[in-house]
């Protein structure tokens, strides 16, 4: 009997000394959705899950990658069925609409003091009505590339830091070198207005025919008349390709684009790449730089209790400094935490660093100024935007008086808005 008692005590002691693995029933499951990241990022996320589960044995992580064109409908269906993911990757415009409709929930309580680790611009992007609605994951950023030879020929010694300076530089480049100096995306005039702090709609009425809006278009019209603006696809919805082609051929003095665009200059036009220098993208009057398009992980409604708590921990893990740097290396994107942006991958430049490497470092230093600009809450926006684009083209090329053109477009908008 004594032996038996001792054996039982010994087994009990061993049980106390050995960690007990959590059963499947005891584990908290955190399902998270990414958007169109397979197969390129499969090893990355599989490793991420493996690391997290090893460090958190009471948590089971399930990764689901959903094509971008069905993720919204799939999310809606999962919420209706009472089985939403704990985290879902969203862009900012979608998240804004979802926050208004209660589809996603604030995560301020899950952030805690860690909210200060993220770039100011990233947190502003996911903050609606004073509450944060997601864990910032990755972002875009543009830089200003310019042709040093053309700048020197034109006698330009100061790199433009604002839109006004950029337009003035463009006019000087045209006058002194004969080449266009700037290629603004006037087909996206709504975004240009917003970047400069000029609203499109207030109190359900179009306001883009104000004196400030008219004055801005007048600046573009003046530059257009002088030949300073590249006319190739100037009013198209997307003039990115034509702008790069013009820069590669030496027909454009300034290019605002993501650093990755410079790899095309490097590969296709080595002579132009050799005389390319970079600087931060000019800031608007509202201190916003171009190029932001943030993706983040939001928490759908219906997630609560232990699952909500674990979703917060995993959301911070996926978007921490180390993991963001590794993702950026694979994706060619920019991180959204302050420390990650200072990582040697972005900032340690070799003595022979080219324009691309300099562009990456420059973009990483501008993250607090990067914002995602979008139009929200405007019904039939595509129809309305086309009318504004047409009005902008007529005004800038001089086919119609600027104020008259914007007044007519605003009247069209107001008729449509009043009918909704």
The model's pLDDT over 26-75, given as tens digits with 9 standing for 90+, comes to 899 999 999 999 999 999 999 999 999 999 999 999 999 999 999 999 99
Residue 2 confidence (pLDDT):
39
- Give the model's pLDDT for residue 285: 84
Burial of 15-47, coded b for 16+ CB within 10 Å and e otherwise, reads eeeeeeeeeeeebbebbbbbbebeeebeebbee
Q: Is the pLDDT of residue 125 over 70?
A: yes
- CA 125/CA 266 separation, integer angstroms: 33
Tokens representing residue 396 in the block: 């800038």
Measured distance CA(89)–CA(92) in Å, rounded: 10
| Cβ pair 147, 253 in contact under 8 A | yes
Percent of the chain exceeding pLDDT 90 equals: 87
pTM of the model as a whole: 0.87
Mean pLDDT of the chain: 93
pLDDT of 17 > 80? The answer is no
**pLDDT of the residue at 13:** 40
Q: Given a cut of 70, is residue 240 above it in pLDDT?
A: yes
Domains and CATH numbers, the chain: 22-140+292-360 (3.40.190.10), 143-290+371-418 (3.40.190.10)
Whether the predicted pLDDT of 22 surpasses 80: no
- pLDDT confidence of residue 177: 98
- For residue 289, the model assigns a pLDDT of 85
pLDDT, position 1: 40
Q: What is the mean pLDDT of residues 387-414?
A: 98
Higher pLDDT, 17 or 142: 142
Q: Tens digit of pLDDT for each residue in 179-233?
A: 999 999 999 999 999 999 999 999 999 999 999 999 999 999 999 999 999 999 9
In DSSP terms, 277 is beta-bridged to 146
Question: What distance in Å separates the CA atoms of residue 116 and residue 337, rounded to the nearest whole number?
Answer: 9
Residue 286 has pLDDT above 90, yes or no: no
pLDDT at 261 over 90: yes
The pLDDT of residue 279 is 97
| pLDDT at res. 25 | 63
186 or 21, which is more confident: 186
């Amino acid at each position: 009997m004594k032996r038996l008692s001792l054996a039982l005590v010994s087994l009990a002691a061993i049980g106390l000394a050995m960690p007990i693995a959590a059963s499947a029933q005891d584990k908290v499951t955190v399902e998270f959705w990414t958007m169109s990241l397979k197969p390129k990022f499969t090893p990355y996320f599989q490793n991420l899950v493996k690391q997290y589960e090893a460090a958190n044995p009471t948590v089971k992580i399930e990764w689901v990658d959903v094509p971008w064109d069905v993720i919204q409908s799939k999310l809606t269906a999962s919420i209706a069925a009472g089985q939403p993911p704990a985290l879902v990757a969203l862009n900012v415009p979608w998240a804004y609409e979802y926050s208004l409709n209660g589809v996603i929930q604030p995560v301020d309580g899950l952030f805690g003091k860690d909210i200060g680790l993220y770039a100011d611009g990233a947190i502003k992007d996911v903050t609606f009505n004073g509450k944060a609605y997601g864990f910032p994951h990755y972002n875009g950023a543009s830089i200003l590339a310019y042709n040093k030879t053309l700048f020197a020929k034109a006698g330009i010694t100061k790199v433009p830091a604002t839109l006004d300076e950029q337009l003035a530089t463009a006019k000087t480049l045209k006058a002194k070198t004969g080449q266009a100096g700037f290629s603004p995306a006037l087909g996206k005039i709504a975004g240009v207005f917003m970047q400069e702090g000029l609203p499109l709609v207030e109190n359900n009425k179009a306001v883009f025919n104000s004196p400030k809006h008219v004055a801005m278009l007048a600046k573009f019209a003046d530059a257009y008349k002088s030949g300073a603006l590249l006319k190739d696809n100037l009013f198209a919805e997307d003039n990115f390709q034509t702008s790069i082609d013009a820069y590669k051929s030496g027909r454009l003095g300034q290019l605002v684009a993501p650093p990755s665009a410079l790899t095309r200059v490097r590969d296709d036009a080595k002579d132009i790449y050799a005389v390319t220098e970079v600087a931060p993208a000019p800031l608007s009057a509202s201190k916003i730089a171009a190029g932001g398009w943030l993706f983040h992980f939001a928490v759908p409604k219906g997630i609560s209790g232990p699952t909500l708590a674990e979703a917060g921990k995993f959301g911070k893990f996926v978007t921490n400094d180390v993991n963001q740097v590794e993702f950026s290396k694979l994706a060619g994107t920019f991180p959204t935490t302050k420390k990650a942006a200072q990582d040697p991958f972005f900032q340690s430049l070799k003595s022979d660093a080219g324009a691309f490497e300099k562009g990456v470092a420059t973009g990483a230093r501008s993250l607090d100024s990067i914002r995602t600009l979008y139009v929200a809450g405007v019904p039939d926006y595509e129809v309305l935007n086309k009318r504004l684009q047409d009005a902008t083209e007529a005004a800038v090329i001089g086919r119609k008086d600027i104020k008259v053109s914007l007044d007519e477009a605003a009247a069209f908008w107001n008729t449509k808005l009043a009918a909704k």
